[in-house]
């Protein structure tokens, strides 16, 4: 790992509020609930925690309100070893929340982005430039000062800010990863700044109109993602693992690893965070996919979001 290398994550930070009920209430109806739980979440925060627990020097760029939920989310990141210098605390705007009603056959979610949409592209770019300067600590490198570092962005923050952040990170020399979740498309001019795009199968279909299932459709979907301008693409396929294009242009699959599935909430975020940590170590893409598969196999065996994400030692113990 390079002396100054870091995983920088620009993304969402949410407090998840979840309650169980026997059936969904009808319009105007109140039903009894049970099992109320709160979880630290947000795709950006989850991915940052995953990278940090894999041993990567990691920092979060994002925003929360100056409220109790914000306090909890920032403390959770710090406990996981994620740097929070570039997490902005805002007055007059609430921390993002996801309110989840779950029953045996259904779940419904209301997402309130709150502070997650407060940062503009220039805010993120300023943080990235400061981060690079701080990491270099006077070791001037005029070309690609962040070479060896990784930048991750998703779709839960303002899309124009995300596009601008990816462009700035790419210019600084970061290896950029874009996770288009929930499904979203970048402006055409931003795609060449994406070194790796990593959607799941439904997000991939939204971006390419191709649902990746067999080898032929996976190849078509991956080629369509590359045609947008990204340098590489990985599609996660849930229980079917993940897939990229090999050097021969044919689909190269990483199978999901055996695990007793308890909760898949943070599986995708764990995959991306672990993949980024492996990339920070200079591993080739397929080996990064293996690292993601190993970490996410442990995650799905546990309940919850961030609390289900394993450490590197736990992954190594799990797989021997």
- Buried b / exposed e over 240-265, threshold 16 CB at 10 Å, is bbbbbbeeeeebbbbebbebeeeeeb
- Contacts for 121 with CB less than 8 Å, ≥ 6 apart: 160, 161, 162, 163, 164, 165, 168
Residues 178-201 pLDDT 10s: 999 999 999 999 999 999 999 999
Output DSSP code: residue 106.
E
Mean pLDDT of 57-83: 97
Model confidence at 172, pLDDT cuts 50, 70, 90, reads: very high
Q: Rounded mean pLDDT of the chain?
A: 93
Average pLDDT over residues 42-62: 97
Instruction: Please tell me the distance from the alpha carbon of residue 133 to that of residue 125, in angstroms, as a whole number.
Output: 12
- In this prediction, residue 143 carries a pLDDT of 46
All residues at 6 or more sequence positions from 316 whose CB lies less than 8 Å from its CB, including other chains: none
Which position has the higher pLDDT, 109 or 284?
284
Residue 136 confidence (pLDDT): 57
CATH architecture label of 7-21+34-131+145-319: 3-Layer(aba) Sandwich (3.40)
Distance CA 37, CA 20 (A): 9
Percent of the chain scoring above 70 in pLDDT: 95
Q: How confident is the model at residue 60 (pLDDT cuts 50, 70, 90)?
A: very high
Tokens of residue 210, six digits? 């191709």
- Residues 309 and 50: their CA atoms lie apart, in Å, by 6
- Phi, psi of 141, deg, nearest 5: -135, 105
Strand (E) or helix (H) holding 130: helix 121-136
Q: Of residues 67, 123, 158, 269, which has the active-site annotation?
A: 269
Q: How many CB atoms lie within 10 A of CB 284?
A: 10
Q: CA 35 → CA 20, 32, 76, 102, distances in Å? A: 6, 11, 22, 10
Note the pLDDT of residue 144.
54
Residues in the chain: 320
What mean pLDDT is predicted for residues 144-169? 92
pLDDT at 263 over 90: no
Q: Round to whole Å and give the CA distance between 37 and 148.
A: 39
Helices 68-79, 43-53: crossing angle, 10 deg rounding: 20
Task: Give 110's contacts (C-beta < 8 A, 6+ positions apart).
Answer: 98, 99
What token pair was written down for 54? 């894999």
Largest CA distance in the chain: 63
- Residue 229, pLDDT > 80, answer yes
pLDDT tens digits, 245-257: 999 999 999 998 9
**Catalytic residue at 215?**
no
- Enumerate the domain spans of the chain: 7-21+34-131+145-319
pTM comes to 0.92
pLDDT at 145: 65
pLDDT at 197: 99
What integer pLDDT is reported at residue 102 of this predicted model?
82
Taking the C-alpha atoms of residue 218 and residue 201, their distance in angstroms, rounded to an integer, is 9
């Amino acid at each position: 790992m390079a002396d100054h290398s870091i995983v920088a994550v620009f993304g969402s930070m949410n407090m998840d509020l979840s309650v169980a009920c026997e059936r969904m209430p009808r319009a105007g109806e109140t039903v009894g609930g049970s099992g109320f739980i709160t979880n630290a979440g947000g795709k950006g925060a989850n991915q940052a925690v995953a990278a940090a627990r894999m041993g990567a020097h990691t920092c979060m760029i994002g925003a929360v309100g100056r409220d109790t939920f914000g306090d909890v989310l920032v403390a959770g990141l710090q406990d996981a070893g994620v740097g929070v210098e570039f997490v902005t605390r805002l007055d007059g705007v609430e921390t993002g929340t996801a309110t989840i009603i779950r029953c045996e056959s259904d779940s419904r979610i209301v997402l309130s982005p709150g502070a997650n949409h407060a940062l503009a592209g220039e805010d993120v770019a300023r943080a990235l430039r400061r981060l690079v300067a701080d990491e270099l600590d006077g070791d001037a490198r005029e070309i690609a000062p962040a070479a060896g570092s990784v930048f991750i962005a998703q779709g839960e923050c303002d899309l124009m800010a995300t596009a601008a952040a990816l462009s700035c990170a790419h210019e600084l020399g970061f290896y950029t990863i874009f996770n288009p979740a929930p499904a979203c498309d970048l402006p055409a001019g931003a795609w060449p700044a994406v070194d790796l795009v990593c959607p799941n199968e439904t997000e991939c279909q939204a971006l390419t109109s191709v649902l990746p299932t067999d080898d032929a459709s996976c190849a078509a979907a991956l080629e369509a993602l590359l045609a947008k301008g990204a340098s590489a693409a990985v599609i996660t396929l849930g229980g079917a693992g993940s897939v990229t294009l090999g050097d021969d242009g044919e689909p190269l699959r990483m199978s999901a690893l055996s695990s007793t599935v308890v909760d898949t909430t943070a599986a995708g975020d764990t995959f991306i965070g672990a993949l980024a940590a492996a990339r920070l170590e200079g591993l080739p893409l397929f080996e990064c996919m293996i690292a993601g598969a190993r970490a996410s196999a442990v995650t799905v065996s546990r309940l919850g979001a961030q609390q289900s994400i394993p450490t590197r030692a736990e992954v190594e113990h799990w797989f021997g």
